[in-house]
Amino acid sequence: MTALRHLMRDPVAAFGLLLVLFALFVAAFAPWLAPFPDDAFESNIMQRLRPPSREFLFGTDNLGRDIFSRVILGTRSALLVAVSVVLAAMMIGVPIGLLAGWRDGWVSEGLMRFTDVFLAVPQLILALALGQLLAPGIFTAMVALALTYWPFFARTVFAETRRLRGALFVDALAGIGAHPARILFLHVLPNAAPAVLVRATIGMGFTILTAAILGFLGVGATPPTPDWGLAVAEARQHLPDAWWFATFPGLAILFLVLGFNLLGDGLRDAADPRLRRSRH
Partner 1 sequence: MLRYIARRIALALPALFGLVVLTFILSRVIPGDPAATLAGDSATPAQLADIRARYGLDRPIMEQAWVHMRQVLSGDLGNSIFSGRPVAEDIARRLPATLELTFVALLIATCLGIPLGLVAALNHNGPIDHLVRVLSVGGLAVASFWLAIMLQLQFSMEWDVLPLRGRMDVPLGMPARVTGFLLIDTLLAGRGDMFVDALRHLVLPGVTLALPGLATIARFTRSGVLEALQKDYVLYARAAGYGRFRLATIFVLRNAITVTVTQIGLLFGALISGAVAIEAVFDWPGLGTYAVQAILSADYKALLAVTLVVGVIYAVVNVLVDIAQAMIDPRVALQ
Give me the residues that bind partner 1 (CB under 8 A), please. 12, 113-114, 116-126, 128-134, 136, 205, 209, 212-213, 216-219, 229, 232, 235-236, 239-240, 243, 246-247, 249-250, 253-254, 257-258, 261-262, 265, 278
Nearer to partner 1, 186 or 251 (CB): 251
Q: Is 49 left (phi over 0), alpha (psi -120 to 50) or beta?
A: left
C-alpha 238/C-alpha 221 separation (Å) is: 20
Nearer to partner 1, 54 or 278 (CB): 278
C-alpha 185/C-alpha 261 separation (Å) is: 28
- State in angstroms the smallest separation of the CB of 216 from partner 1: 5
Nearer to partner 1, 130 or 188 (CB): 130
In the beta sheet, which residues pair with residue 60?
Answer: 66
79-83 contact pairs (CB < 8 A, 24+): 79/23, 79/24, 79/27, 79/208, 79/256, 80/27, 81/138, 81/141, 81/142, 81/145, 81/207, 81/208, 81/211, 82/203, 82/204, 82/207, 82/208, 82/211, 83/204
Nearer to partner 1, 8 or 254 (CB): 254
- State in angstroms the smallest separation of the CB of 245 from partner 1: 10
- State in angstroms the smallest separation of the CB of 129 from partner 1: 5
C-alpha 228/C-alpha 226 separation (Å) is: 7
Nearer to partner 1, 185 or 243 (CB): 243
- State in angstroms the smallest separation of the CB of 102 from partner 1: 21
Are 277 and 6 in contact by the 8 Å Cβ rule? The answer is no
C-alpha 243/C-alpha 226 separation (Å) is: 18
- State in angstroms the smallest separation of the CB of 205 from partner 1: 7
- State in angstroms the smallest separation of the CB of 62 from partner 1: 15
- State in angstroms the smallest separation of the CB of 166 from partner 1: 18
Nearer to partner 1, 75 or 261 (CB): 261
Strands (E) in the chain, as ranges, are none
- Helix and strand tally (H, E) in the chain? 13, 0
Nearer to partner 1, 120 or 168 (CB): 120
Task: Give the number of C-alpha atoms closer than 13 A to the C-alpha of residue 206, restricted to the C-beta side.
Answer: 18
